[in-house]
Amino acid sequence: MKKNEGDIIFENHLDFKDKSIPEAILGYGPFMAEPYYGHRARLYYEDLYTQPDKMAEVILKANDLGMNAINLVNDDNILKAFDLACDNGCEMQVIATIGKSDVDYLNPNYEVACEVDWESDIELFSGYDTPLMLVDEFITDAYKWNLTSKILNSINDSGALSGIVTAFPYRTTDLLKQDNLDMDLFDFYMIPLNSFAYMMDTPS
């Protein structure tokens, strides 16, 4: 896709080790109609998730504006949308979330989350231009450190950079400082961060 240079607003990259990662990444939350969007989740589900062609239009427009990376999970509809966008000229790197499950986001069952087929996720996203793979928050926040270590080792073996995601930055960081996880296994740490402490485990 030929981009209008006057419209490009996302150009910076983070060069780390042998990878170059766009600093702005298109998220998948609205595409998945995540329940934390409240009443909007139903609209996102009907207008986006059930219509991969509409998701593809959003992805293509974002790419046209200079967005060169997208966060993806192993979901048939979202992957169909991304593949459709790529067939129509989209050029984006993939930042993959490994081990995404369908547990209830607002009341998660961490035991169930840890049973997900994360190995298939790594194999799948190794077929895309994926410089970075992140362990899903429901696996990280289960604090099964042996499992998290195993996943990180597998990501590293795939040739991608690795990282973890947490929904509890204060609690998880405290546990990491207690040497529960080998910090040399990963280079990226994704947390919710905002001045209102929204979706963070601390008062505002």
Tens place of pLDDT per residue across the chain (204 aa): 445 554 555 678 899 999 999 989 999 999 999 887 888 999 999 999 999 999 999 999 999 998 999 999 999 999 999 999 999 999 999 999 999 998 887 788 999 999 999 999 999 999 999 999 999 999 999 999 999 999 999 999 999 999 999 999 999 999 999 999 999 999 999 998 776 666 667 776
Contact 28, 72 (CB under 8 A): yes
Residue type, 152: L
pTM of the predicted model as reported, rounded to 2 decimal places: 0.90
- Which two structure tokens, joined as six digits, stand for 23? 């600093």
Q: How far is CA 166 from CA 34, 141, 199, 200, in A?
A: 16, 6, 11, 10
40 φ, ψ to 5°?
A: -70, -20
